Amino acid sequence: MIQIAPFKAVRPVRDKVHLVATRPYYTYKKNVLKAKLEENPFTFLRIINPEFNSERKTKPNSIERFVHVRDKYADFLEKNILIRDNQLSLYLYQQTKNGHKFTGIIAGASIDDYETGKIKKHEATLTSREEMFVNYLNIVGYNAEPVLLSHPAHDNLEIMLMRLMQERPEYEFTTTDEVTHELWVITGQDILTIQDYFAEMEGLYIADGHHRSASSAGLRNIRRQAGKNQFENENYFLAFLMDERKMQILEFNRLVKTLNNFSPAELLIKINKIGALTQLNHAQKPSHEHQITFYLDSTWYALNIDKSLIPVGDPVKCLDTDLLTELILKPILGINDLKTDDNIGFVSGAESIEHIEGMVDSGKFNLAFILYPISINQVKAVADANGIMPPKSTWVEPKLRSGLTIYNINE
């Protein structure tokens, strides 16, 4: 039985929503971020970066910086750039990208469900980063970027969402990345019906947002221990829940700077011992699981990993991301820690293979490995086994906007 909760979202006024809602700040290059901040006084980035064009300077991730973020948020409310809904609501959101429609419900997801394992995770969180997010949430008092959760297919829920989308959306706008965003506000009896549909589900899976969900749970626990747990919204975190069939899971490809003192010919000899190696005539992504294509010395190759080297029964060790690490990156190229080694880089499957080829041709990297995408069933198998996926195993679409529906923790 899954619990979801309606909430009174703080959200942009209709005529400024396209100016306020933004990609997360960390997805922007520095020069692009600076341009966004300079050109758009309404962007949510101004809240996250409150010291832009200000003489007041504080250290990143400090209490003082978080207070400044909170003050800038209050300023947006005072200027009526952001408004607060008067009644508890759920929010139906649809994002259309490259012809693909991502549809789901924005709601409060239960921290009780998270802590009892009904909301399942497949990624380890860093304690230091989690603590930073807890401090951030405690001071600013809101969450502006939903955790992406997948739910099992539910025909009645899908039919209901299709009906609701026949009405004119509250928001409808297209961003400069050619993505269309639509949002409907759900109230009244429809909320109860949707809650009943989720109550029929046994579990959810975190697709993106492990640190955000962990920090929300951490905040509630800290406040409880201090005797300060007093708001209903503390028991939930902001989430976007969508049918697992509708998500897109793309690969995370690997770029390598070092050949570990091997010549290209010597490296090929070593890789050839791992499986059947074929030279390709052009850039090519893998056509199936356990095939890896790679670009080396201006030439593309396909490696079909020998079945005898693929562990059976372990949902993590049979992943191509883990096989690449254990068979090539560690023993041959000497890259032992994907989180800290400067010789490894990552690029999502959303980038073209020609772009990856160009990064190697530029001389910045010596080698590129292209992986076959991991499936939602593989993600679920890892989570069900309480396993942890290798770093940068999946790139999940949709990527959600910050500041579209803000969740007030302190109410």
Segments making up each domain of the chain, as ranges: 4-248+398-408, 251-395
Pick from 169, 190, 193, 192: nearest CA to 181: 169
CATH architecture of 251-395: 2-Layer Sandwich (3.30)
- Taking the model in full, what pTM does it have? 0.93
120, β-bridge pairs: 205
3-state SS, residue 143: strand
Q: Are 51 and 61 in contact (CB under 8 A)?
A: no
Distance, CA of 192 to CA of 202 (rounded, Å): 18
Q: Report H helices in 276-344.
A: 320-324
Distance, CA of 173 to CA of 38 (rounded, Å): 22
Provide the greatest CA pair distance for the chain. Answer: 68
Distance, CA of 28 to CA of 53 (rounded, Å): 18
Pick from 318, 302, 322, 321: nearest CA to 310: 318
- Grade residue 143 by pLDDT with cuts at 50, 70 and 90: very high
Distance, CA of 208 to CA of 392 (rounded, Å): 11
Pick from 200, 208, 203, 195: nearest CA to 238: 208
Write out pLDDT tens, residues 256-312: 999 999 999 999 999 999 999 999 999 999 999 999 999 999 999 999 999 999 999
Provide mean pLDDT across the span 373-389.
Answer: 95
Write out pLDDT tens, residues 5-58: 999 999 999 999 999 999 988 888 889 899 999 999 999 999 999 998 888 889
Write out pLDDT tens, residues 195-242: 999 999 999 999 999 999 999 999 999 999 999 878 999 999 999 999
Write out pLDDT tens, residues 76-101: 999 999 999 999 999 999 999 999 99
| φ and ψ of 257, to 5 deg | -90, -30
Cis amide linkage into residue 398, ω under 30° from 0:
yes
Judge whether residue 338 has pLDDT over 80: yes
Mean pLDDT of the chain: 95
As given in the structure block, the two tokens for residue 173 are 């706008």
3-state SS, residue 230: coil
Q: Are 48 and 25 in contact (CB under 8 A)?
A: yes
Distance, CA of 174 to CA of 299 (rounded, Å): 39
Distance, CA of 100 to CA of 301 (rounded, Å): 31
Q: In the prediction, which pLDDT does 89 show?
A: 98
- Grade residue 376 by pLDDT with cuts at 50, 70 and 90: very high
Judge whether residue 126 has pLDDT over 80: no
What percent of the chain is predicted at pLDDT more than 90? 90
Helices (H) and strands (E) in the chain, counts: 13, 20
Q: Are 262 and 371 in contact (CB under 8 A)?
A: no
Q: In the prediction, which pLDDT does 27 show?
A: 82
The span from the first CA to the last CA of the chain, in angstroms, equals: 25
Q: In the prediction, which pLDDT does 128 show?
A: 84
Judge whether residue 350 has pLDDT over 80: yes
Pick from 243, 5, 230: nearest CA to 112: 5
Provide mean pLDDT across the span 312-331.
Answer: 96
Distance of CA 301 to the CA centre of its chain: 30
Distance, CA of 353 to CA of 361 (rounded, Å): 12
Q: Are 147 and 133 in contact (CB under 8 A)?
A: no
